[in-house]
Structures are given as structure tokens and as C-alpha cells.
Structure 1
Amino acid sequence: MRADRLVSLVLLLRQHGRLSATALALELEVSARTVLRDIEALSAAGVPVYAERGRHGGFALLPGFRTELTGLNHDEALALLVAGSRRGAQAFGLGSALASAMLKVVDALPEGHRDTAAGAAQRLLIDPETDLLSRRLVAEEVPDEIAAEVLRAVFAGHKLRIHYAAVDQTPKWRTVDPIGLVTVRDQGYLLATRSGGDRTYRLSRILAAQELAEPAQRPDRVDLDQVWQERSTRFRAGGDQVTVLVRMNPARREELLGTALAVHAEEPDADGWLRLKVTFQDSRHAEWALWQLSTDAEALAPLSLRTSLRTRAAAIATCYGVSS
């Protein structure tokens, strides 16, 4: 751990020229006292780091102390830097490793490539934390020790024992054969088999994990994209799906189709509105989707959905009908 931190410290000084102990501590997520000890260790090892006192002082390396890597052109370096801005690695507990790798890549670039690639990367933003409506996109938290254990089992091809909390169920221990990991909109999933059957586990619901020594029963090669597509299709086809007959404003049609699983029928109504027969994942999904459309959509069937929407609307009306 300390060796990695010392390397990161040197790379930070190479890229920024001069940094205070406080700034280094923030970057490395340690205390300023730890930074000072690390500086002493680097000096003792012969790394030419020196201190400049004063208001704008800090620590710096002697000019010319750097290495360069050839073979990467500007576009390749830019692609790496843009990839480093993505948050998918966070879902697998690789955020710190990715940040460290980006430091090394930037430091190893030739002088001209380093400056132009870093400047160009500042003009691109991938998957920001909020959308245009200022809705914060919250990534699921997966403890580092759990993510590391899952990763080891996946890469080593060993069986994995997990303490898993399924929805509305008491957490249970399961032994699975891991196939791979997938991240979708900052949600991480473990694809595995259990007793020969396909299983998909949300990483954030794994309470504990233990890599076993026994080899996993899985193919040597796998097309994760195909496996994910197949499991997604089966998931949408199963469960407590509900089919809804809805009458709606055609201007909101695309919004409805963006949330429904399937459209079975569509025809114009007498007043210019549309009448559609669509399927949702379950009754809660159907209620949520139609509620977003407000008075631009009316559920005609089933009766249970109309009742739940009416109950929700009545509760809202009651809440706002009483003066505070």
C-alpha cells in the first residue's frame, strides 16, 4: 500500500510541478503528517524532491526527473483519459486503481502529447453525476473488501460464497460459479450459475463474500454481452407482468413506449387520442409509468390499476386541499 502511495506521490508532483502537503494529502487520502513522512522516505531513496517555503510553496521534483513512453498517439491517449472519467469502475471497487492508472498513463506520455491530450480531455464529459434536470445519479455503494473478493473469484475462476439479501427475503448464504461482472447505469451485477441454473446478483445486495479454492464450473470463454442480453430478455418475459389498456395523448406516446416492455396493439381513438395495449413489468411499474403522464393518459383496464391510481390521486388532493 505504501509503495503504491509513494509512486502516486511522485506522479502527482511530476504532473503538477509543485503541491503543498495539504493538497497532496487530499489527493492521496491520507494525513499531511503521512505525506511528510513519505517525502522523507523518497528523499532517502534518492528521489530529488525538495521543499519551497512561503505562501505559494510546497514540494516539487528537480526539473527533468521523469520518464517517457512512446508508441501512444494523441487520439489513443485521449481515449484512455476519457475512459478514466467514467464511473463504471466504481461499481467493481476499481475506482482508486483507475485513478492511479490514469496518473501513470499521463506521466508516461511524451511532453507534447501529455499537454494536448489532457487539454482535450477537459472538453469531454462522460456520464456526469446529474442530468439536465439536476437529478443526482447515485451509484450503488459496494464495500471494497466485498468487491475485491468477488473480483478475485471471477478472475481466478473459483467458486464464490456470498451472503445475499434478495428483495423481501432473509439474507442467505449461497455458493455460486461466477461468470463475469456487468455494470449498467452505475449498478453492478454478478453473472453466475448456481446448481446449473443461471443467476444474476446485484453487487450492492451482497453482504459478504468469500472466494473458495474449488474451481468454478464455467466455460473457458464467454461473450458477456450476449449472456447479458439473454438474461435481460428472460427477465422481461418473466415475473408478474401486467397488460394495460390505456388511452392517451399522442404527444406523450414516446414517453410511454420508453417505459413499457411491449406494445401489443395501437389504434387511434375517436377524439384523436391513441388507444394502446401495453405490457409492464408488474403493477407497480404500470402505476409509476402512467402517473408520470398525469392527465395525458388514462388506464382503462385493469380495474385494479385504475383503483390504485385513483387512490394515489385522492391522497395527493387531500394533502394539498388542507391549508397549512
Structure 2
Amino acid sequence: MRADRLVSLVLLLRQRGRLSAPALARELEVSTRTVLRDIEALSAAGVPVHAERGRHGGFALLPGFRTELTGLNHDEALALLVAGSRRGAQAFGLGSALASAMLKVVDALPESHRDTAAGVAERLLIDPETDLLARRQAVDEVPGPVAAEVRRAVLAGRKLRIRYAAVDQAPRWRTVDPVGLVTVRDQGYLLATRSGADRTYRLSRIMAAEELPEPAQRPDRVDLDRAWQDRSTRFRTGGDLVTALVRVAPERRQDLVGTALAVLSEEAEETEGAESAEGADAGGTLRLEVTFQDARHAVWALWQLATDAEVLAPEWLRTTLRDRAAAVATRYEAPPEPLSG
């Protein structure tokens, strides 16, 4: 691990010029003291790195220094394979490996291409952490050691012991046969079997993990896309699912569909006085039958739509939303009490 970090440090200085110790520490995800020790190690190994004093000082390499440091290690190569989204790599615990790999890829380019690539990269931003309303995107946080242990067991084909915290349950240990890893909307999942039955575990709920020496009981080949589709179908058709009939304004249809698990039926409704039979295009509404994961999910999703949606059935869901709206209205009926002080 330290050898990889030393390589990344040299590449950072080659590509960005002078950098301070705190800046290097942030890039390498280590302490400033560790950076200073690495600088000393590079100097002792003959790498011409020197310190520049002053307010804008830092560390830099002598001009023209170049060495062949671009070989990718296993995790860096793996990170590039899942780098369709940087946060996708983060979900599998490969964020730092991806950053290190990209440094090596850029350094391997001819100088003219390297300069062009750096300029282009500054003009492109993919999947920022916040949207235009400054809302942070939900990204699962998975401890690095846990992600690494799960990943090793998946790739090596060995059994895995995990301490898993299911929803509304205390964490407990279980032994599984890992099949593969999937990331969906920046949330990572472990597909596995347990006692021969399919199981899906959210990575952020794995508190600890231990790769076991025994080989996993699993097929030699797997179609992860098909396996995920099968599990998704079973999830949508079982458990505590809630089916609701909802009238929604056309402009909010996508908001409803985006939060529901599935759309079972859809039809356009004409409002009174609409001249066209095109339903929503003539000022009408849409009537959708949709499913939600459970009662809590249904209430949350429909509350976001406010008066742009109306639950027609089931009655308990309609009543729940009505009571919540009444409670909010009551809270705002009277002016607020003066602030003390």
C-alpha cells in the first residue's frame, strides 16, 4: 500500500507541479505527517523532490524528471472497469484506487495529449454530489476495510462472514456465499446465497466482514444483470407492498413514477369542459395504479406531491395523508410565539 502511495505522490507532483503537504494529504487521504515521511523516503531513494519555502511554497520535482511509474495494480485496474461513475467506484470501496489509476493513465499519455486531457477534464463534470437546489445526493458510506473484505471474497470465490444490520433489527453474524456486487443509484449491494436461498445485502448495513478460507458454493459463471432483475421482480411482488390508485397532474407524473416501485396501470382522465379526448393533453389528469415498498414508503412518496396528487384508494392511505395535512394546517393557524431574548 505504501509503494502505491509513493507512486501516486510522484505522479501528483509531476502533473500538478508544486503542492503543499496539506494538499497532498487531502489527495492521498492520509495525514500531513505521513506525507512528510513519504517525502523523506522518496528523497532517500533518489527521487529529486525538494521543498520550496514561503507563503506559496510546497514540494516539487526537479524540472524534466520522469520515470516509468504507470503500471496499474489489481485494485486500480478493477476501479477503471467500474468507473462509469466515480461514486459507483466509491460504493465498492475503490474510490482511492480509481483516483490513483487515473493519475497513472494521464501520466502514460504523450505530453501533448496529457495537456489536452487535463484541459478537457476541467470542462466536464459527471454526477456532482449536489443538484441545482443544493440537495446532496444520497451515497452509501461503506467502511473501507469492510468493502475490501467483501470485494476480496466475491472475486476469490470464498465464503464470507458478515455482521449485518437488517432494517429494525439488531446486527448479527451470518455466513453467506457471495455471488457478485451491484451498485444502483450510488447504493451498493452484495448478491449472495445463504443455505442455497438467494439473499441481497445492502453494503452500508454490513458492520464487519471476514473472508473465510472455504470456497463459496456458487456457479462458475453468473449473469449479474439477469440475477438483479430476478431479485428486483421478487422484491416488487412480495413482502409488505402497498398498491395505490393515484390521480396525478401530468407534470408530476415522473416524480410519482420515479419514487414508486412499479406502475401497474395508467390511463388519462378528462377534466370537465375539456374538448379533446387526449386526456392529459387537454388539461386532464392521469390515473395510475402504483406499488410502494411499504406503508411508510407510500406515505412519504405521496406527501412530496402535495396537492398535485390525490390518493383514490386505499382508504387508509387517503386518511393518513389527510390527518397529516390537518396537523400541519393546525400548527400554522396561529402566529408563532415571540422568540425569547
TM range, smaller chain:
0.7 to 0.9
Partner of 2:14: 14
Distance 1:201 1:175 in 2: 12
Q: CA 1:35/1:247 → structure 2, altered by over 3 Å: closer, same or farther?
A: closer
Partner of 2:87: 87
**Aligned 1:112-191 pairs, distance under 5 A:** 112-191=112-191
* The one of 305, 311, 325 aligned to 1:293: 305
Partner of 1:283: 295
Cα shift at 1:180: 0.7
Cα shift at 1:31: 4.0
Distance 1:172 1:253 in 2: 41
Given the alignment of the two structures, is residue 306 of structure 1 paired with residue 307 of structure 2, yes or no?
no
Partner of 2:269: 268
Task: Say whether the 8 Å CA contact 2:250–2:286 is kept in structure 1.
Answer: no
Name stretches of at least 5 consecutive residues in structure 1 with no aligned partner.
Answer: 71-79
Name stretches of at least 5 consecutive residues in structure 2 with no aligned partner.
Answer: 71-79, 275-283, 337-341
Task: Say whether the 8 Å CA contact 2:7–2:69 is kept in structure 1.
Answer: no
Q: CA 1:25/1:168 → structure 2, altered by over 3 Å: closer, same or farther?
A: closer
Aligned identity (percent) is: 77
Partner of 1:225: 225
Distance 1:250 1:31 in 2: 53
Cα shift at 1:40: 2.5
Distance 2:146 2:217 in 1: 21
Task: Say whether the 8 Å CA contact 2:106–2:114 is kept in structure 1.
Answer: yes
The DSSP-based 3-state class of the residue aligned with 1:257 is helix
Cα shift at 1:95: 1.2
Partner of 1:73: none
Task: Say whether the 8 Å CA contact 2:140–2:187 is kept in structure 1.
Answer: yes
Cα shift at 1:83: 4.1
Q: How many residues align?
A: 314
TM-score (norm 1): 0.88
Q: CA RMSD in A?
A: 2.4
Q: Partner letter of residue 196 of structure 2?
A: G
Cα shift at 1:227: 1.4
Greater mean alpha carbon deviation, residues 225-234 or residues 179-188: 225-234
Distance 2:31 2:142 in 1: 25
Distance 1:85 1:302 in 2: 39
Partner of 1:75: none
**Aligned 1:34-73 pairs, distance under 5 A:** 34-67=34-67
Partner of 2:247: 247
Cα shift at 1:102: 1.4
Cα shift at 1:277: 4.7
Q: CA 1:90/1:267 → structure 2, altered by over 3 Å: closer, same or farther?
A: closer
Distance 1:83 1:267 in 2: 41
Task: Say whether the 8 Å CA contact 2:86–2:95 is kept in structure 1.
Answer: no
Task: Say whether the 8 Å CA contact 1:50–1:61 is kept in structure 2.
Answer: yes
Q: CA 1:188/1:248 → structure 2, altered by over 3 Å: closer, same or farther?
A: closer
Task: Say whether the 8 Å CA contact 1:161–1:176 is kept in structure 2.
Answer: yes
Task: Say whether the 8 Å CA contact 1:163–1:208 is kept in structure 2.
Answer: yes
